[in-house]
Amino acid sequence: MISEIAVWLVFFLPLASFVAIAFVIRPFLNGYAVTAGYVSILAIATSLALSVWALGTVAHEHTSVEFAPHRWLTIGTLEISLGVTLDSLTAVMLLVVTSVSLMVQVYSTGYMKGDPGYARYYAYLSLFTASMLGLVLASSLVQLFVFWELVGLCSYLLIGFWYHKPSAAAAAKKAFIVTRIGDFGLLLALLYLFFNQDKFPAGLNALNISDINDAALGVLGSNVVTWIAVGIFAGAVGKSAQFPLHTWLPDAMEGPTPVSALIHAATMVAAGVFLVARFFPLFEASTTAMNAVAVIGGVTAIFAATMGLVQHDIKRVLAYSTVSQLGYMMLALGVGAYGAAIFHLFTHAFFKALLFLGSGSVSHAAGGTFDMRYMGGLRKVMPWTYVTFLVGSLSLAGLFPLAGFWSKDEILAHAWGAEGAVSQVVFWLALVSVFLTAFYMFRALFMTFEGDFKGGAAKDPKADAHGHHGEMHPHESPWPMVAPLVLLGLAAAAVGFIANPITDLGVVPIHWLTTFLSEGAAHETVEFNVGVATISSAIALAGIVLAYTIYGVRRPAISPEAMGRWFRPVHTLFYRKYYFDELYEGVLVRGVFYRGVAQALDWADKSIVDGVVRMVDRLGRNTGRAMGQLQNGQLQGYGLAISVGVLLIFGVYLLFR
């Protein structure tokens, strides 16, 4: 049994580390900034241990552990409470967040070594992790919303960590503003619940997550449920970078690479999927909402994968891959495969963190560039990075028996088995993305590690080569960077089969994770579907083989340039990201907002608001001038005025006596 304090500590330890670093180490002991890393790692390691304990408790008890919420605010009849939920979903998320965060923080001691903002970096990382843990633990919607926004704030701070780079500052703003559009939907859903608390029966708190889920079935009208679900989903779309709010995530590359790993694997984007999973009973109560989730997820999966095909920046390839994989998870949720979605979130966290950290290691070796056209041949000089990156890529491509295979197959099997036209459509979307995923991942792998070294940062005109000039000599990264890669590599290889085996392993029962996650709800687990698995594996293999024939051999039968020429319009469309940035920046921001709304408001401000002010000013000035005319310095004029005034007063007195 786990005590409530221990659960709270999971969240409070990283928060305490943030406070210690931000208010003690950074202002007073910045000369010893390296201690910031140790403090932060110690805190997150303890959190990880507590998370394992929490997971063990929940798994052992076979039920979620209930803690009575604490009263926070009472507004009229509404009570807003603070509390921790510890169900299977939270327990799994806690493990994912703390373990990935620990790996990222260990890796960062090597990657960020000597950075002038070292202490600040660790302060942000700790706050980021703490916010995500608070989000995962939250029992009330208000509490969840607070941490939701904190996660957004931290991602802003970390993406813009190198704020002196204009592109980083712009990317940070973009991430913040684009996710804010989605957050507006979540806020609307929250406000609806706040103002309609009287619709909830006695005993159910309108802002308690479990109570909302209970009320979704029957108590609330189906329209109301749909709209609340759509509002919540809008928040998830923003956070999880789903179509059409996906544009911020690829730009979020501007932050330090370990931050990208954290954002893409555990903290930021997982929050959207988590949110939908948290309100899953609510979504299930509305077919419309479920279909919306499935379609958005499916479209995003294939849409992002196509953009990933043609990027030159290795981190951008990975970023589109994340968007695509998040689409998978949404798709799974949409077809009702709750357990499969979280299972994929779980495995994806490990292999995506691995791939990002691997790309950071590659860039470290290549002197700071992320452009794959200037890499190549790194396999021989950095074997550890190569092997772990290969494992991550295979896992992401979904090849037997790596982690990604099991979770991806679980989703595909669910989509295949689910009823309704929507799930059939998204099944095919998902299957096409399997091919695309395998292709772009191995394209990146071959471009980076095979062939000859093409000069690294010294040749890249855009890279700020940290003082490197002339010949580059790539080298393997130091052990604080390699160790997390190896650990994550092991996880990316094994975690899928161990956590959710298709046969009874004795220690781990069959379909353990999905059964565990679905506990207390009537979600069936789907049997391992050999047919779907074979087809998806074959498709993934085809993608890898195609990538090999184009990018893997020295004299390819089909050169990349020829491919680019043949598919010129499509290539351009993909490379320019379907012109979504242009659409948003040019049409929406500049056209509609700047030319339309902003200029209309500017006109109103200038002519109406300023006009009233200027009128008041002119009235006073003109009155003053007229009065001033009377004061002409002619004493006799004053005398006359006094005489006439006395006569007037006297006359009035006589009249109205």
Partner 1 sequence: MGLESFLAVGAIIFCIGLYGALTKRNAITVLMCIELMFTAVNITAVTLSRYVVPAGLAENPASVSDDVLQTLLTGQVFTIFIITVAAAEVALGLAIVMAVFKNRESVFVTDATEMKH
**Does 501 sit behind a cis peptide bond, omega within 30 degrees of 0 on the bond before it?**
no
CB of 116 closer than 8 Å to CB of 92: no
CB-wise, 520 or 624, nearer to partner 1? 624
Residue with tokens 């996906």: 246
Residue 33 tokens read as: 């900034």
Buried/exposed code over 56-80 (b: 16+ C-beta within 10 A; e: otherwise)? ebbeeeeebbebebeeeeeeeeebb
Cα distance between residue 97 and residue 47, in whole Å? 10
Nearest residue to 142 (alpha-carbon basis) of 187, 201, 204: 187
Between CA 478 and CA 646 the distance in angstroms is 100
Q: How far apart are CA 435 and CA 36, in angstroms?
A: 43
Q: How far apart are CA 271 and CA 146, in angstroms?
A: 13
Whichever of 586 and 639 has its CB closer to partner 1, that residue is: 639
- The count of chain residues that interact with partner 1, using the rule CB under 8 A, is 10
Angle between helices 257-265 and 88-111 (to 10 degrees): 170
What's the min distance (Å) between Cβ of 623 and partner 1? 14
Q: Shortest Cβ distance from residue 176 to partner 1 (Å)? A: 57
Minimum Å distance from CB 635 to partner 1?
6
Contact 239/274 with Cβ under 8 angstroms? no
Q: Minimum Å distance from CB 640 to partner 1?
A: 5
Choose, by CB under 8 A, the member of 29, 640, 649, 652 that binds partner 1.
640
Return d(Cα 63, Cα 55) in angstroms, integer.
11
| Residue 611 C-beta: closest distance to partner 1, Å | 29
- Contacts with partner 1 in 577-636 (CB under 8 A)? 628, 631-636
Give the contact letters, 65-104, x = binds to partner 1 (CB under 8 A), - = no: ----------------------------------------
Instruction: Tell me how far apart the alpha carbons of residues 285 and 405 are, in angstroms, rounded to a whole number.
Output: 30
Q: How far apart are CA 397 and CA 454, in angstroms?
A: 26
Of 467 and 633, CB closest to partner 1 = 633
Instruction: Residue 461: count other Cβ atoms within 10 Å of its Cβ.
Output: 7
* Six-digit token string for 593: 């907002």
Q: Find where tokens 């290969």 sit.
A: 390
Give the separation between CA 229 and CA 286, rounded to whole angstroms. 8
- Tell me if 372 sits within 8 A of 507, measured CB to CB: no
Q: Which residues have a Cβ under 8 Å from the Cβ of 546 and sit 6 or more positions away? A: 439
To the nearest whole angstrom, how small is the minimum distance from the Cβ of residue 609 to partner 1?
32
Angle subtended by helix axes 34-61 and 88-111, to nearest 10: 160
Residue 169 C-beta: closest distance to partner 1, Å: 55
Nearer to partner 1 by Cβ, of 604 and 640: the residue is 640
Helix, strand, or coil (residue 84): strand
| Residue nearer to partner 1 on the CB measure, 191 or 647 | 647
Residues 287-306 that bind partner 1 (CB under 8 A): none
Q: Which among 74, 63, 80, 332 has a CA at the least distance from the CA of 211?
A: 80
CA dist list (Å): 334 to 178, 284, 297, 419: 23, 9, 8, 12
HEC letters along 170-206: HHHHHHHHHHHHHHHHHHHHHHHHHHCHHHCCCCCCC
Q: Are 267 and 396 in contact (CB under 8 A)?
A: no
Looking at beta carbons only, is 191 or 648 nearer to partner 1? 648
CA dist., res. 136 & res. 274, Å (int): 8
Q: Tell me how far, at minimum, the Cβ of 652 lies from partner 1, in Å.
A: 20
Per CB under 8 A, the list member of 643, 645, 648, 651 interacting with partner 1 is 643
Ranges within 151-170 binding partner 1 (CB under 8 A): none
Determine the Cα–Cα distance for residues 351 and 324; give it in Å rounded to an integer.
14
566-591: b (≥16 Cβ within 10 Å) or e: eeeeeeeebeebeebeeebeeeeeee
- Which residue lies nearer to partner 1 by CB, 77 or 631? 631
Question: Cβ closer to partner 1: 201 or 637?
Answer: 637
Of 77 and 632, which has the nearer Cβ to partner 1? 632
Choice between 77 and 629, CB closer to partner 1: 629
Please state whether beta strands 70-75 and 78-82 pair in parallel, antiparallel, or not at all (unpaired). antiparallel
Q: Which of 1, 13, 5 is nearest to 84 (CA)?
A: 5
Distance CA 588, CA 22 (A): 38
User: Which residues would be at the binding site for partner 1 (CB under 8 A)?
Assistant: 628, 631-636, 639-640, 643
